[in-house]
Amino acid sequence: MKQVTLEELLEAGCHFGHQVTRSNPKARDFVFEARDNIQIIDLVKTKAGLDEASEFVKQVAQKGGTILVVATKRQAQPIVNEELNRIKEVLEKDKAGSSDSIFYITNKWIGGVLTNFSEVSKNFKKLSDLKELVNSPEKRSVYTKKEIGLMDKEIQRLEVLYGGIAKMIQKPDLMFVVDSHLEYLALKEATGMGVATVAIVDTNADPSLVDYPIPANDDAVGSIKLISSHILDAWVEGQMAKKESAVEGETLKETKPKKTAAKPKVKVLKTETKAKVKKK
């Protein structure tokens, strides 16, 4: 796995925190110093947190887990969408894994996605049914133009809210969050449902809510791109490692010598050599 250097973190602006007056006391351990009322994040701890989080993400992917990426912040939406499309192309090209193992929410976190999944998943089925109806000429012919137009609008609305998680059939194994302060509700749901969390934690956030916090600037475009791409690259590496281990397993099965059938054991019947003489 490619290591991110301190110079790259510095150039991306990962070291800029929030104003001192907006800081969270629990995030003080990540602060190096304050300059002009702006907190400066210790990049050594940023790198350590990023390396630890990346290794964990790789392990989850290697075990065949699923990941949910949450990035509803305005400046994070295009970056995360671009990175998701990139890694999906890599996975499909190399056939290293399924893109169905990656889910995302980049518009709005819908309460209950994890804690009330059985009810939320009904909207997934509704979206699928509407798409099937609209795309079928036979079924479309039964409805008027106005009704078809209303269905199209409903599909667009559901696609915006649930498009990135429509194929999710159960809770994910891992959640990656770009802004832990903004996505407070998502982290609370993940914690309550036992979903492991990795998140970018700025100086105004509570790092104790995250299993693998990455102390860094969650507002700068460069910081978001560098960290999110590194985390998603770790996921791809885990998927590739899973594929390689599967191939090695199949090779071992093919090269393993077949056991020859054991010769049946012939039982030798012992005959009595001495006859017992009964005394009268």
* CATH at 79: 3.40.50.10490
Identify the domain containing residue 165 by its residue range.
115-169
Indicate if 94 and 228 belong to the same structural domain: yes
pLDDT digits (tens, 9 = 90+) for 96-146: 555 678 999 999 999 999 999 999 999 999 999 999 999 988 888 888 999
- Are residues 99 and 62 part of one domain? yes
In three-state secondary structure terms, 100 is helix
Other C-beta atoms within 10 Å of 118: how many? 7
37/146 same-domain check: no
215, part of any domain = yes
Same domain assignment for residues 191 and 232: yes
Place of tokens 């302060």: 181
Check residue 279 and give its pLDDT: 46
Q: How far apart are CA 158 and CA 131, in angstroms?
A: 11
Looking at the fold, whether 45 and 134 belong to one and the same domain comes out as no
Instruction: Specify if 19 maps to a domain.
Output: yes
In Å, what is the CA distance from 61 to each residue of 14, 55, 56, 79?
A: 26, 10, 9, 22
Residue 143 lies in a domain: yes
Same-domain pairing of 180 and 238: yes
What pLDDT, on the 0 to 100 scale, is given for residue 249?
Answer: 59
Within the chain, residue ranges assigned H as helices are 6-11, 43-62, 77-94, 117-135, 137-140, 145-162, 184-192, 221-255
Cα–Cα distance measured from residue 77 to residue 85, given in angstroms and rounded to the nearest whole number: 12
Residues 156 and 29 in one domain: no
* Claim to verify: residue 21 and residue 138 sit in the same structural domain: no
Distances (CA, A) of 144 to 15, 32, 140, 149, 156: 57, 64, 8, 9, 19
Cα–Cα distance for residue pair 54/232, rounded to 1 Å? 8
Asked if residue 131 and residue 10 are part of one domain, the reply reads: no
The pLDDT confidence band at residue 16, using thresholds 50, 70 and 90, is very high
pLDDT at 90: 85
Q: Is 208 exposed, middle or buried (0-12, 13-18, 19+ CB in 10 A)?
A: exposed
**Total domain count, the chain:** 2
Q: Is residue 250 part of a domain?
A: no
Q: Note whether 37 and 94 are same-domain residues.
A: yes
**Are 46 and 140 found together in one domain?**
no
- Distance between CA atoms of residues 23 and 18, nearest Å: 6
Could you tell me if 154 and 239 lie in one domain?
no
Which is it for strands 67-70 and 102-105: parallel, antiparallel or unpaired? parallel
Confidence of residue 280 (pLDDT cuts 50, 70, 90): very low
| 52-83 pLDDT tens trace | 999 999 999 999 999 999 999 999 999 999 99
Distance, in Å, from the CA atom of 64 to the CA atom of 189, rounded to the nearest integer, reads 22
